[in-house]
């Protein structure tokens, strides 16, 4: 199977000098997560928040307590892109995984997600396995009352569970059944959560198989701004487990978040379809 290279990335990412100590790397291996500072100042974060606020769904104005998320705002808000390609984050991920990290998706949240516990390996995986990670950044101070990230230290050492492992059919229409199975797993393994009470600008890197979700937000009058970036790593093939069947991965071709603001998005509209058909018919 041919590995997917870093196609389309015309400018290489900038990376800091290796930021992690041997002790930090050992803690990540043991716990499945690591907290570090990405060294963005408050002014940068304010600009990011100002840029994403108008992009949230209109329903947020009527009900600001309803969970909302914004996917791939890096395409229009350059601060989101800059955070995703943080030189410190990229260098840390390369230390942890031994391969260059490739950011492919951002998610921005104005309040706590209240998301049930899951592993990212149900959404994203690679061949060889395990070359995927998430980086969650606190865009304001997070405490126990405004919906912190919830995670289960050491759970990344459990086996990776697919839909088929739980006797479920593939597809997101069955995702709620997967969540119920994960709840049963937490009880069977007697796992206890910890909570990401981070300061503004701090980041939490998590292993793809770490069980995590969103804790309850007890103070609904508060915001809980955060950004998640998902990363693959070089020299892998990439697929979506939720849409895969046994021995038949649903492969994907990610568009890597660019290293600079001077980029063009791929043509995924009608012209791209016409070009693909023409190539199949032998036309250039």
| Residues listed for the chain | 284
| Residue 126: other Cβ atoms inside 10 A | 20
What is the fold of 22-280? Jelly Rolls (2.60.120)
In angstroms, the CA 86 to CA 228 distance is 12
In angstroms, the CA 238 to CA 85 distance is 20
Provide the residue ranges of all domains of the chain, joining segments of one domain with +.
Answer: 22-280
pTM of the model: 0.90
What residues have CB less than 8 Å from 45, skipping those under 6 apart?
79, 139, 140, 200, 201
pLDDT in tens, 48-103: 999 999 999 888 877 877 879 999 999 999 999 999 999 999 999 999 999 999 99
What residues have CB less than 8 Å from 174, skipping those under 6 apart?
163, 168
Sequence-separated contacts (24+) of 55-63 with Cβ below 8 Å: 56/110, 60/110
pLDDT in tens, 149-183: 999 999 999 999 999 999 999 999 999 999 999 99
């Amino acid at each position: 199977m041919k590995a997917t290279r870093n196609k389309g990335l015309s400018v290489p990412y900038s990376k800091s000098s290796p930021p992690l100590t041997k002790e930090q790397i050992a803690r990540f291996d043991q716990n499945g997560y690591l907290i570090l500072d990405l060294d963005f100042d408050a002014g940068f974060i304010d600009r990011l928040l100002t840029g994403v606020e108008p992009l949230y769904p209109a329903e947020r104005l009527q009900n600001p307590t309803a969970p909302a998320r914004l996917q791939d705002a890096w395409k229009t808000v350059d601060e989101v892109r800059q955070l995703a390609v943080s030189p410190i984050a990229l260098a840390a991920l390369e230390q942890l995984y031994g391969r260059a990290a490739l950011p492919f998706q951002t998610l921005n949240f104005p309040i706590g997600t209240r998301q049930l516990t899951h592993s990212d390996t149900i959404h994203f995986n690679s061949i060889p396995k395990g070359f995927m990670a998430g980086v969650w950044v606190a865009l304001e101070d997070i405490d126990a009352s405004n919906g912190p990230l919830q995670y289960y230290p050491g759970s990344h050492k459990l086996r990776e569970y697919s839909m088929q492992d739980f006797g479920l059919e593939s597809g997101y229409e069955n995702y709620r059944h997967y969540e119920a199975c994960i709840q049963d797993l937490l009880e069977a393994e007697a796992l206890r959560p910890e909570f990401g009470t981070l300061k503004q600008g701090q980041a939490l890197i998590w292993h793809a198989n770490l069980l995590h979700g969103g804790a309850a937000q007890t103070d609904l009058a508060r915001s809980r701004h955060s950004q998640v970036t998902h990363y693959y790593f070089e020299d892998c093939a990439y697929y979506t487990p939720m849409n895969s069947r046994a021995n038949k991965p649903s492969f994907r071709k990610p568009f890597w978040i660019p290293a600079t603001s001077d980029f063009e998005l791929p043509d995924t509209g009608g012209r791209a379809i016409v070009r693909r058909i023409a190539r199949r018919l032998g036309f250039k």
